[in-house]
Structure 1
Amino acid sequence: MGFVVAVVFCIVVSESWSLQSLTFPKEFKFGVATAAYQVEGAWNISDKSESTWDRLLHTHPSLSDDGSNGDVACDSYHLWRRDIEMAVELGVDMYRISIAWTRLLPNGFANYISEDGKRFYNNLIDGLLEKGIEPLVTIYHWDLPQSLQDLGGWANPLVIDWYSDYARVVFTLFGDRVKTWITINEALVICDGGYGKTWVPYIDDMAIGGYLCNKHVLLAHAKAYRMYDEEFRPLYHGKVSISNVFFWYEPETPEDEEATKLTIQMWEGRYAHAVYSKAGGWPPEIEKFLAANSKREGYPTPRLPPFTQEEIDYVRGTYDFYSLNYYTTRLVRRVKPEEAGSWIFYGNKELGIAIVNDPSWPMASFDWFAIHPEGLRKVLHWINNTYGVSNVLITENGLPTYDASLYDFNRVSYIKSHLEQILLAIKDGINVIGYTAWALMDNFEWLSGYTVKFGLYSVDFTSPNRTRTPRESARFYSSVTRTRSLNTTRHGLNYY
């Protein structure tokens, strides 16, 4: 990681905008988010078993930037009441959490349900509802039971049944109170990261394992969705989707336009086209491109495993809204394969591209994180034009920084500028139904450890109480949720 670059920029709102145009629709929902491994801690409390993240970072602590892990994290397993208080202080409509598979099903299988795990999530869900906050629940956010990884994990087709059995337990236990579900978070990171040796399970096998994973997560999602649709929706009337991370891509030069279109399909299409498109299956241009690569390399069958027609029909349409995680925009440059960066953030040797930054855009802490709010509006238009989905829920958006200061005006500006782009998209006719800020508080930021801060609340990780303190961004966000407006001068604040 490089040194942090402080980014402070202003939002200029057109004078033609009226006060009303700065106001969100009354049905628009504001939220915040966390994930189980990043905040819960209590990694071996009660009968909880070992996850892939536990195994990786206990075995190879040097993989995280500060040698840390999520053993304690924010200790939300014990401090969940304070987390709910923070959500109340922010005035949000929803709080996105995830269930830890290993906490609920210690064996990985549905033959044994942990009473302590069940009690913890019941308390958290009930506590949110008592305060009028909707629990938005992710069933799987990257923490696979290590016992299942030892059996092949997401590269094993049996994982489709393992996951659906787990999802059935979750729906059965919590479906009477949880009305919005995310089946799987950012499958691209699970597969391209996990089999590109940048994420758990930290395997260098993108050529085969990564594409097997790609197909299996889509089938697992579809099986959970079909199960909910047939068995639980008639009872509880909830909504289900899969969450995709979608960085916007633009060509560095006009000569890079075709490579950019292919990059978007490689990044987003492989994990969304099968679900959201009318045709279903793999994006045709990607399927054709990878089949040609496989044939040239001497493989008897495509490395991207084809869908049968039955599978295409099974996966297609398994959504109730588009769940979008958006953070940044990058430029695509066509290069020779030997010059291509490693996937995920820097390029793709398979496509022969490099991912670069526009020098005119401000940069955040990561060298892959350019700040370009307009990219969010472009993503929303692309989703609308490509799939014609009726509802888009933004389930993650936030700014990383190495700066732990409480006066995070850079994060205020980032959130505000992206909310402005959402208002513009709504004005364009796109039905964006909500926005979820990442993250409620500083937490264990995966392989960055505790060096990177995403939180609206600062967390003192040296304190046994993991003291949470609101940042300026928390104050700003609470002003937006309460006024439902970006016109913050109404209540004595001015961030323009």
Structure 2
Amino acid sequence: MVKKEEFLRENGFEKEGLEEVSRSDFPSDFVFGVATSAYQIEGASKEGGRGPSIWDAYAYTEGKILDKSNGDVAVDHHHRYKEDIDLIAKLGFSAYRFSISWSRIFPDGLGTNVNDEGITFYNNIINALLEKGIQPFVTLYHWDLPLHLEESMGGWLNKKIIEYFAVYADTCFASFGDRVKNWITINEPLQTAVGGYDAGVNAPGRCENRSVEPYLAAHHQILAHAAAVSIYRSKYKDKQGGQVGLVVDSEWAEPNSDKIEDKSAAARHLDFHLGWFLRPLYYGDYPEVMRERLGDQLPKFPEEDKKFLLNSLDFIGLNHYTTRLISHATESTEECHYDKAQQLDRIVEWEGGDLIGEKAASEWLYAVPWGLRKIINHISQKYATPIYVTENGMDDEDNDSLSLNEMLDDKMRVRYYKGYLASVAQAIKDGADVRGHFAWSLLDNFEWAQGYTKRFGLVYVDYKNGLTRHPKSSAYWFSRFLKDGANKKGKEQ
């Protein structure tokens, strides 16, 4: 097993999380932003011509959401977007990553009847951001598939969805691309594939055919991404001058020993997370280790698809929260087919019993800043494309027994961001082309299957008193961090 002190010393991480970090540690054009997603914040689920999504149906399924809540109102961003954008501006962020709800644009998802009210709503958000000097980073798909597509044709399991996604993307590029220059096609396709079609913990909540469906859902998402990029490049890029990327998510996988089998298990874990989606876009096929372990369960790309996929992204978006020590497992007790196929153990303790990092509210989330530097360098060396850290953050437990002031004083979140931003700065010094960092999240919100029990926001939302917004200590820390950089820049000029 890995000894903590030895590992930290050998990797130069002895001071990890203790070092100071400042805006001047980053390039002057580095983008600092905050991120959200439509279903988690918008609410107004039956207003403005919006059609239902798979998350509307899933949230109403008995036993799926921890606190029996849903996103019908969420944090009411649909009516409060001006207030929220004012907050982003006051805190000093230069970018805002948000997602468009597909069923607000096409209520049935089919691409025949555009909902003008939905177009207007997102136009209003984009214009409000630009008025404040904030760059919009727009995600086309953040898990909320129009319900009609799921019920009528099986959603991501049906190849026809690639065409429907392409029409939806085309409509968004045509409607918003004169002002939006940074596009993300799909957020975390792995979570849709595994959570939605294997573990059953995300919408649509399927686990009937675990050895086939997750890989088919992933396959169609990859092709849908490439179709959207092809449309953008052929119809819009010359005129609009924007860029299109894909967001993948992964923890860092650190081998738990120097044994070859543990090193292989860690590499395998990264291939199953990152390589699953990035390798087809760079090399035209899935990682060899996935082909070996999954065989015919993994769909094949015909030659024309391979050519279609190659180099179909301008940047990689990385959602990263935590890290694990990885060891090879001779037998797997995992229920998920995807997890079982990897044949490994994910460990959160060093030799001697110390935790790998400070634990947040979610059982899976430990603060391990050095992991972000390692995963950025891994992606940079393997795929050599500009990287944006598109989500990064930690959560607190919603706690009625604490006063508002106690909830706002989020010291661990401040420590988390200091450490993780220092790690990004180090990765840039190592030579990685990292262009931006987005904190997850601007607001406490509907946290999927956890409902409102976990709070990831820089801004506290008072669910019991009119959804009022209260910036936390971490929000003020970011504000000082960003404004110090702006002040120094002003003096230099």
What is the TM-score normalised by the length of structure 1? 0.89
3-state SS, counterpart of residue 159 of structure 2? coil
Structure 2: distance between partners of 1:120 and 1:211: 35
Percent identical: 37
Matched-pair contact (CA < 8 Å) for 2:380–2:433: no
Partner of 1:317: 311
> 1:332 Cα shift?
2.0
Partner of 1:349: 340
Structure 1: distance between partners of 2:428 and 2:275: 23
Partner of 1:386: 382
Structure 2: distance between partners of 1:361 and 1:94: 29
Identify which of 363, 385, 405 aligns with 2:359.
Answer: 363
Matched-pair contact (CA < 8 Å) for 1:337–1:351: no
Matched-pair contact (CA < 8 Å) for 2:91–2:476: yes
1:288-331 CA deviation, whole Å, 9 max, x = no partner? 2211xxxxxxxxxx010111122111112011111111100012
Matched-pair contact (CA < 8 Å) for 1:52–1:145: yes
Partner of 1:421: 423
Within-5 A mapping of 1:61-210: 62-150=63-151, 151-196=153-198, 197-204=200-207, 205-210=209-214
Structure 1: distance between partners of 2:417 and 2:426: 14
1:404-444 CA deviation, whole Å, 9 max, x = no partner? 61000100110111100111111111121111000001000
2:224 matched to 1:220?
A: yes
Partner of 1:434: 436
> 1:338 Cα shift?
4.5
Q: Describe the shift of the 1:57–1:429 C-alpha distance in structure 2 as closer, same or farther (beyond 3 A).
A: same
Matched-pair contact (CA < 8 Å) for 1:137–1:181: yes
1:205-233 CA deviation, whole Å, 9 max, x = no partner? 33111111111000000000010011010
Structure 2: distance between partners of 1:172 and 1:94: 21
3-state SS, counterpart of residue 367 of structure 1? coil
Structure 2: distance between partners of 1:486 and 1:366: 37
- Which 4+ residue blocks in structure 1 deviate beyond 6 angstroms? none
Give RMSD over aligned pairs. Answer: 2.0
3-state SS, counterpart of residue 202 of structure 2? coil
3-state SS, counterpart of residue 241 of structure 1? strand
Structure 1: distance between partners of 2:312 and 2:118: 29
Q: Which stretch shows the higher mean deviation, 349-358 or 114-123?
A: 349-358
> 1:459 Cα shift?
0.2
Matched-pair contact (CA < 8 Å) for 1:215–1:305: yes
Matched-pair contact (CA < 8 Å) for 2:58–2:203: yes
> 1:403 Cα shift?
4.9
3-state SS, counterpart of residue 218 of structure 2? helix
Partner of 2:48: 46
Q: Which stretch shows the higher mean deviation, 279-288 or 40-49?
A: 279-288
Within-5 A mapping of 1:403-422: 403=398, 405-422=407-424
> 1:123 Cα shift?
0.6
> 1:475 Cα shift?
0.2
3-state SS, counterpart of residue 389 of structure 2? strand
Partner of 1:262: 268
Structure 2: distance between partners of 1:481 and 1:222: 35
Could you tell me which runs of 5 or more consecutive residues in structure 2 were left unpaired when the two chains were aligned.
1-14, 350-354, 400-406, 489-493
Matched-pair contact (CA < 8 Å) for 1:41–1:73: yes
> 1:23 Cα shift?
2.6
Matched-pair contact (CA < 8 Å) for 2:51–2:104: yes
Q: Describe the shift of the 1:374–1:127 C-alpha distance in structure 2 as closer, same or farther (beyond 3 A).
A: same
> 1:342 Cα shift?
3.9
Identify which of 275, 278, 293 aligns with 1:272.
Answer: 278
Matched-pair contact (CA < 8 Å) for 1:281–1:316: no
The letter of the residue matching 2:265 is A
Matched-pair contact (CA < 8 Å) for 1:23–1:485: no
Partner of 2:57: 55
1:59-101 CA deviation, whole Å, 9 max, x = no partner? 32x2111110111011001011111111111111110110001
3-state SS, counterpart of residue 177 of structure 1? coil
Within-5 A mapping of 1:222-301: 222-253=226-257, 254=259, 255-275=261-281, 277=282, 279-291=283-295
> 1:37 Cα shift?
0.1
The letter of the residue matching 1:203 is R
Structure 1: distance between partners of 2:173 and 2:185: 11
Partner of 2:333: 339
What is the TM-score normalised by the length of structure 2? 0.89
Q: How many residues align?
A: 458
> 1:485 Cα shift?
8.7
Structure 2: distance between partners of 1:10 and 1:265: 26
Structure 2: distance between partners of 1:463 and 1:166: 37
Matched-pair contact (CA < 8 Å) for 1:480–1:486: no
Could you tell me which runs of 5 or more consecutive residues in structure 1 were left unpaired when the two chains were aligned.
1-8, 292-301, 488-496
3-state SS, counterpart of residue 63 of structure 1? coil
The letter of the residue matching 1:334 is H
> 1:336 Cα shift?
4.0
Structure 2: distance between partners of 1:68 and 1:403: 14
